[in-house]
Each structure stands twice: as structure tokens, then as C-alpha cells.
Amino acid sequence: MKKLFSISLISTALLLTGCAQEKDLAASNESINAKQEVVIAEQKQLADRTRKQMMVDKKAVKLTREKLMSAQMSYVSLSEKKYRSVGQVGQMPPAHFINEANNNEKYSHQKSNGTLLVAEQPVSTFSIDVDTAAYANVRRLLNQGKLPQHDAVRVEELVNYFSYDYPTPTKQPFSVYSEVAPSPYNADKYLLHLGIKGKAVPKTERPAANLVFLLDVSGSMNNANKMGLLKNALKMLTNQLNQDDSVAIVVYAGAAGVVLKPTKGDNKPAIIDALSQLSAGGSTNGGAGIEAAYRLAQQSFIKGGINRIMLATDGDFNVGTVNNQALKNLIENKRKSGIDLSVLGFGSGNYNDELMQQLAQTGNGNAYYIDNLHEARKVLVEELSSTLFTIAKDVKIQVEFNPSIVSEYRLIGYETRALKREDFNNDNVDAGEIGAGHTVTAIYEISLVNGKNKANDTLRYQAQNTAHQTTTKNQNEFAFLRLRYKNPTENSSQLIEVPLLKSDIIESITATSNSYKFSAAVAGFAQLLRGGENLSTMNKKDIIDLAQQGRGEDRHGYRGEFINMVKLAQALSPQLSASNGANNAVDHE
């Protein structure tokens, strides 16, 4: 009882002491002058702002982690979620997130094509390109919250990712289409669109295919986005094959090995079981694998059929004895025997885009990048005929501009496909292939002689009429298109010639086709990602508006997906515009 009474007295004393202290503090506070009260209020406001900003930053970091963890979701829904999430934050994600380097990925450096004077260089020559790897790779990088470095963006591969509504060919393997209208990129300039559409081949008429899956199972492939995605992608392809087709599987790591000898395409359980057993580990010796794959392809060669090696890898050939030039020489020699090679790229962090492009070009094949199962379905199911079946090879384009009408031109993209003028008529010079049903688009930006917005000054010592002399019969031609191609089994090329008439120029973008509008939007976006040095009037909103105008039917949703990509890129970097050319471009190289 005494103990409880003592505790009570102590508590009462403490309470009285506290009350006294509170009275003293209140008295002290009353003595604070007005100036001190202002200082305290300002400090409180600053603390509140700091606390709110920290909450925003935490949300941004959380969103970043969520986006990286969900990279394998359906892209359309994923990109929409990301854009909404970043928009909710109300600011750019943290700078370290935007500027993150692409690790050890390798890309070939190519400077964008410049604007040339017709008076000095009236002829432009290049090989077609139907690769789409750059588009899927750019999508993957944006999907990871990174703006791609400039060299990862090949403009023509973004444009040619999409099919366009060009005329269906009748007599020849493909049709040729052209359209000219004002440029959305620069005032007082025009865009010349050249379109090619390959003849479509129904699945039932596809030639028999002799396929060898050459698969990288090295340690660098030990990732769900690599080995796991690779196996599922090739299972999709396997389900499209029939009894006339043949499949063999070769793997390579430290050494090469045959996992599946040539097997009929209708024996799907055997093929799928072999794929399911694959696992990754060890270093990479791609050269040994390619040699083994060509031996198997030669053993099962189908005359008049499709003979193709499908190389699936991240391109990380990390064994010191590998000689890339020797690999390319081997592929070039085998190409002459009728065995082509295409590349399926996987993964991130160490992806060797540069080597994959070189091998595909050397092997008369195409380069694809598989970033998710939807892309695998597009390449290996929906577009299987064009992926496997070549209807024309060594396709070259040459455009001669009329100097009396056109003063300047710039080829947008195709930097890695440039040819010398004399290469056009030389059938020994290799060029690109076009598959069944493929569409290929090339875009020039041109300035007319009477235009005001010129990139180059008029020559001081050249007579003004020197470049303007043309024959009477050609006065309405602003350019002349020449196209060469070979049938798949022939070694001599055939020539197509098409005059491009000034009277066909459309004076309003709104009057152009959906193909014109949408491809111009895609090419504009690609140029912005590369720095936008040749653009002055187009920004992200203009791209979205133009793409929406040209979206058309969009049966598979690919065009809507592109619009979401533009929105995502803008959310990652609001500075992404061309209002001041390269000065406003965001550099991530």
C-alpha cells in the first residue's frame, strides 16, 4: 500500500512539473516576434514540399521496378499500363532510369543520310531491306524504360515492320507503287514514297521446307527471356509445318551437337520434345555450330524448296578463337549453294545486334528480334510464308532525279544498304531479298527547284541553267525509278522501269493514302529517336496525330501498339521533339 502511495506521489509530481514546463513554453512562444514566425512557417512549407517530392520519387522507383518485372506481359496492355503509370507520377522518371546504358549490347554506328544536291549526285542506289529486328528491339528498350541509343534505331526497319496497302502484283513477283505529297518534317519539302509488295503465296502452296534450327545454348542464354522464349517460339513454328517439311536441331555452346536429326514436319511430338529438353550453359562457339548446321541442311537439301538455317541466339560469341570474318565467309559460300540463313535475336544486356545484322545479310536471310511471344507469333505464324519463302532475291532500287524539277533529296534510312551506282547493273553484287506477301517502303525527302527551304546553297560558279537542261519528252518527269531483281533460282537480273510524274504530286497530306500517313509517322518517330537532326516541324504530338489519321483497319493491332510506343517514349523523355532540330534531341549514346 505504501509502495502504491509513493508511486502516486511521484506521478503527481511529474505531472505538475510537466504542466509547469508547458506554461513556461507557452510564455516563451508568446515572446517570439513576427519575423521568427515567418521563418518557422517557411521552414515548415519547405519540409512539406520535400516530403511530398520524396513520396513522388518513391512512387517512380516502384513503377520502374514493376515495369521491369512485367516485361513479358502482352505488349499492348503493358505499354498502356506503363504510360498511364508514368503519367500519374506527373514528372519524368528518375534521371538514372532514363539514361541507363544498354550494358554490353553492340550496334553498328551509322551516320544518318545527308541531303544531296541533284546537280552533283542525281542518282541514288540502295538495296531493299525487309528486316524488322530494330523495331522489336526499340520496343523492348522502351518496355524496359530506356530510350534506345541512336544506332539501335534503323529507320527502314521500323517503317517496314508494318504491312501497307499497296497494289497486288499480277504478272511480276511484286508491284511497284509511288506517292508524293508535302513533308510533315520540314516546310516547303515533299516526301516521295516508294512501295513494293511481294506476291502472296497461300499456306497450301508454300514449297516444302528443309529447316535446321541452330540454337545457342551457352550460359549467356540462361534466362527466361532467352532460352525459355526461344523454345516457345520454335514450338509455334513447329506447329505450322507439315509432312513435306523437314526439321533438324543443332545446338552449340563450347562445342556443337546434333539434338535432332532431320525429322518430318508432321512428327511434331519428336520436335517439340527435343526443344523441351534444351538447357543453357557454357561458353559460345558459334562457328562450330554453323558448320554442323550447314552439313545437315545439305544432307536434307530440297531442290526447288526452302532450304534455310534459323539461327537463334543473343549473338554473344564469346570464345576468343571465333573469327567473325571466317563465319561470314562460310555463310557466303553456303549461300551460293542455295542454303539461306536467317537470324532470330533474343535477350538483352549482351545482345550483339551488329553481328546478327551482318550474318543475316550475308546469308540471304532476314534478321528478327523476338522480345515476346506476340512477336514470335507475328514472325513465325502469321508471316511464316514471307519469313521462309523468298520470291525475289538481290532486289536493288535506283532513283534518278530530274535536276530541272528537283534540287535536293535525302534518303531516309537504308544507311547500311547503300550501293554504288555501278552496283545496280552488276549481278555479282549481293542485295536484299523479298518474301511472299512482304511490303517494302522507301522514303525520300525532296526539295523542288522553286522551293525556299534548301539545305545547300546554290553553287557560285555553276551556270544556273546547267543543271536544268532536259529533253522535251522528260519535262513532266521529276524522277525515274529503276528496279532490278532475280528470280530465286536464277543468276541474271530483270529490270523494271517506272517514270515518276510531276503531275502526280499531291499538294495536301490530308489527301494522301493511309499508307503514306502512317509510314511517314513511323519514319518521323524513328528519326526523332536518332536525334532529329533533319527535322524541324514535327514533334511527338504530330506523330501521334498523323499515325492516328493513317491507322486504317489495323486488324492485328500493330498500329495502335505503335501509337502507344510513341506515348511511352514521350513519357520517358518529354524533351523528345524536333522543334529546334538536334539541339533539343536527347542523347543517350
* pLDDT at residue 509, rounded to an integer: 96
Short-list 146, 135, 281, CA closest to 222: 281
* pLDDT at residue 164, rounded to an integer: 97
Question: What digits encode the pLDDT tens for the residues 9-20?
Answer: 444 444 445 554
- Cα-based distances in Å from 66 to 71, 95, 421: 9, 17, 51
* pTM for this model (two decimals): 0.80
* pLDDT at residue 314, rounded to an integer: 87
Task: Please state, in angstroms and rounded to a whole number, the distance separating the CA atoms of residues 29 and 18.
Answer: 16
* pLDDT at residue 282, rounded to an integer: 59
Residue whose C-alpha cell reads 538514372 in the numeric block: 96
Here the cell at position 572 is 520517358
Taking the mean position of all CA atoms in its chain, how far away is CA 179?
24
Which H or E run includes 181?
A: strand 174-182
Using a 10 angstrom Cβ sphere, with 0-12 exposed, 13-18 middle and 19 or more buried, the burial of residue 69 is: exposed
* Runs of H (alpha helix) within 151-285: 155-159, 229-238, 268-276
HSE-CB at 336 with a 13 A cutoff on CA atoms is: 8
3 state SS of 77: helix
Here the cell at position 466 is 546547267
Here the cell at position 242 is 507439315
Task: Please state, in angstroms and rounded to a whole number, the distance separating the CA atoms of residues 569 and 571.
Answer: 5
Task: Please state, in angstroms and rounded to a whole number, the distance separating the CA atoms of residues 139 and 573.
Answer: 15
* pLDDT at residue 253, rounded to an integer: 77
Measure the N-to-C terminal CA separation of the chain; round to a whole number of Å.
81
Short-list 309, 483, 307, 303, CA closest to 394: 483
Sequence-distant (6+) residues with CB within 8 A of 126 are 396, 397, 411, 414, 417, 418, 419, 442
Sequence-distant (6+) residues with CB within 8 A of 550 are 513, 514, 515, 516, 517, 518, 519, 520, 521, 559
Sequence-distant (6+) residues with CB within 8 A of 566 are 525, 540, 543, 544, 547
190 contacts 407 by C-beta, under 8 angstroms: no
Using a 10 angstrom Cβ sphere, with 0-12 exposed, 13-18 middle and 19 or more buried, the burial of residue 106 is: middle
532 contacts 581 by C-beta, under 8 angstroms: yes
Counted residue by residue, the chain has a size of: 589
3 state SS of 497: strand
* pLDDT at residue 225, rounded to an integer: 86
Task: Please state, in angstroms and rounded to a whole number, the distance separating the CA atoms of residues 182 and 186.
Answer: 9
435 contacts 340 by C-beta, under 8 angstroms: no
Residue type, position 208, single letter? A
Residue type, position 450, single letter? N
* pLDDT at residue 30, rounded to an integer: 53
3 state SS of 399: strand
Structural domains in the chain plus CATH codes: 116-201+391-455+468-584 (2.60.40.1230), 207-387 (3.40.50.410)
Average pLDDT, consecutive stretches of 10 residues, N- to C-terminus, the chain (589 residues) = 46 48 49 48 53 49 44 38 33 35 79 96 96 96 94 98 95 93 97 96 91 90 89 96 96 80 97 91 65 92 95 71 74 90 90 90 94 96 93 97 97 97 97 95 96 81 58 82 95 96 96 98 97 90 96 95 96 66 39
Q: Beta 246-252 vs 340-345: how paired, if at all?
A: unpaired
Task: Please state, in angstroms and rounded to a whole number, the distance separating the CA atoms of residues 298 and 547.
Answer: 46
- Cα-based distances in Å from 361 to 106, 127, 190, 393, 433: 17, 11, 31, 12, 9
3 state SS of 210: strand
* pLDDT at residue 397, rounded to an integer: 98
Sequence-distant (6+) residues with CB within 8 A of 440 are 128, 129, 130, 160, 195, 196, 197, 198, 395, 434
